[in-house]
Amino acid sequence: MTTTIDTSTLLDWISRFRDAVTEKREWLTELDSAIGDADHGANMTRGMAAVVEKLDGGAPATIDELLKTVGMTLVSSVGGASGPLYGTLFLRMGMAAGAVEQVDSAGLAAALRAGLDGIVARGKAEAGDKTLFDAMAPAVDAFDVAVAREIPIADAARGAADAAAAGRDATLPLVARKGRASYLGERSAGHLDPGAASMAILFETLAAAIAGAS
């Protein structure tokens, strides 16, 4: 069973995320058509296609280079809120990991935490605002707790994915307080947040990539 994450596992994660958002494009668009402008599926699909194309020649040698490439490509290829937010997530993860070839579970936990902090610095979302934060924050918390308990990294990632999915589902009754959906006020309640839905996919594919590396 793997105890570290290297650039090839991260590359596998990125490619799985591209595949999954492409496969779920219609659903993400439907969610965004209910409380936004119906472009979240297109935004994520376009952004991740650009990322995979950029990384076509193989993974950069170090984790920071890999994740910074992902982040910069998302920022530059996706208009709309999700590009800068997901872009910042990957940029901050890369900066936190540094110029290393692999990280252990504590290193991945610190990188994910830095990514979450970057999203907050950029978008100012708080818990319950009905954003992608509501899927990511519980996932990062669950991962931290699992790592502190010395739970194997694949199980920690599985738990984080489950927490992200629960966080996504918990956005259903919320009234949006950030982003386009907030313009709807009370009418935003009763719909899942599209960004929380794509964020749960991000953690699901991370768990799958780590399980695949085991």
Name the site residues for ligand ADP (rule: CB under 6 A).
32, 36-37, 39-40, 43, 80-82, 85, 119, 123-125, 131-133, 178-180, 193-196
CA quadruple 126, 130, 136, 142: dihedral positive or negative? positive
# residues contacting Mg ion (CB under 5 A): 5
CA 107, CA 147: separation in Å to the nearest integer? 10
62, 9 in Cβ contact below 8 A?
no
Q: Scanning the structure block, which residue is given the tokens 């965004």?
A: 32
Q: What's the min distance (Å) between Cβ of 126 and ligand ADP?
A: 9
Is residue 183 a contact point for Mg ion (CB under 5 A)?
Answer: no
Which of Mg ion, ligand ADP, none sits in contact with 213, Cβ below 5 to 8 A by type? none
Q: What's the min distance (Å) between Cβ of 179 and Mg ion?
A: 8
Which is closer to ligand ADP, CB of 69 or CB of 131?
131
Which is closer to Mg ion, CB of 60 or CB of 180?
180
SS3 assignment, position 5: strand
C-alpha angle 19-153-17 in degrees, rounded to nearest 5: 10
Q: What's the min distance (Å) between Cβ of 194 and Mg ion?
A: 7
Contacts with Mg ion, 34-73, as mask; x by CB under 5 A? --xx-xx---------------------------------
Q: What's the min distance (Å) between Cβ of 99 and ligand ADP?
A: 29
CA 143, CA 138: separation in Å to the nearest integer? 8
DSSP state of 174: P
Q: What's the min distance (Å) between Cβ of 168 and Mg ion?
A: 16
Which is closer to ligand ADP, CB of 107 or CB of 118?
118
Q: Scanning the structure block, which residue is given the tokens 């992608």?
A: 132
| Residues 10 to 39 in contact with Mg ion, rule: CB under 5 A | 32, 36-37, 39
Residue 151's identity, in one-letter code, is I
CA 23, CA 203: separation in Å to the nearest integer? 16
Q: Where are the beta strands (DSSP E) in 45-166?
A: 102-104
Is residue 193 a contact point for Mg ion (CB under 5 A)?
Answer: no
Interacting residues toward Mg ion by CB under 5 A: 32, 36-37, 39-40
